[in-house]
Structure formats: C-alpha cells, structure tokens
Amino acid sequence: MYKIEKKDYGYKLTFDGFIKGEEMKLWVDESKKILAGAPKEFGIFADMRTLKPLPTDAQPLMQEGQMSYKKKGMVRSVVILNNAVTKMQFQRIAKETGIYEWERYVDASAINDWEKVGIDWISKGIDPDK
C-alpha cells in the first residue's frame, strides 16, 4: 500500500507492506500526475517504517519515481525506516539514481522524535547525520 499526501513542506509518501511492481507502477503514474502541479521546490517525507524490502520488479520503478520527484523540484528528502535491510536497499537505490546527497535516512527504532528530525531536515536543512 502507498499513499501520497500534500503537506506544507511538499509531499508525504507512505509505503506499507509488500509492494510489487504492479502497485509501484501505480505510484509512479500517480506521482507524475501530482507533480504536474508541484511547486518549484519542495521536500519529501517518506514513511517506510512498515515497508518490506522491494522485490526486483519494483526497484526500477522506485528509481523512476525518485527521479521524477527530483526533476520536478525536490530539494531534500528523508526516509524513515525501521528495517536494516530496507534501509540498505534504499540507500543503494538513492546512490544509483543520484539523489543520495539530498536524502537522509532515519531509523525510527533508534530515535524517538523521528518525525521532528525528518521534518527539520526537509524544512530547515538540519542534517540528522551530524
């Protein structure tokens, strides 16, 4: 399951469970429609705490979606995770798509105020890695 919500900082993306390629394609298509009306610059808050690692057929679609957000004006993004395997997978995908330098990863199991930390990165540029 996925959800896209408009927020004052940009967009909140929620990914949950096991997402196969077919559903990821729906997310890419919906994202492209939403991005047609995106502001010049925006942030992305991706809540992936309950997302399972992506199957092979969904990974290139996630890359396509990430690149679409970056091309349309994404300045910074944060990914909230709760699973080491999923974290490693998304770090690899971000490096492959070239968005790694604008994206931060927050382990919700290790940080109580993970939502504030993520929004501070997107809105204020406060780097959670420092």
Could you tell me if residue 129 is inside a domain?
Answer: no
Could you tell me if residue 8 is inside a domain?
Answer: yes
pLDDT in tens, 23-39: 999 999 999 999 999 99
Q: Which tokens go with 61?
A: 């679609």
Domain count, the chain: 1
Q: Judge whether residue 87 has pLDDT over 90.
A: no
pLDDT in tens, 109-118: 888 899 999 9
pLDDT given at position 85: 78
Could you tell me if residue 40 is inside a domain?
Answer: yes
pLDDT given at position 64: 94
More confident residue, 86 or 127: 127
Give me the CATH number covering residue 94: 3.30.750.24
pLDDT given at position 73: 97
Phi-psi group of 21: left, alpha or beta (phi > 0 → left; psi -120 to 50 → alpha; rest → beta):
alpha
Q: Are 58 and 96 spatial neighbours (Cβ–Cβ below 8 Å)?
A: no
Could you tell me if residue 20 is inside a domain?
Answer: yes
Could you tell me if residue 130 is inside a domain?
Answer: no
pLDDT given at position 4: 98
Structural domain harbouring 18: 2-124
Q: Judge whether residue 5 has pLDDT over 90.
A: yes
pLDDT in tens, 44-78: 999 999 999 889 999 999 999 999 999 999 999 99
pLDDT given at position 16: 96
Answer yes or no: pTM beyond 0.85: yes
- Alpha helices for the chain (secondary structure H): 21-35, 59-71, 84-97, 114-124
Could you tell me if residue 111 is inside a domain?
Answer: yes
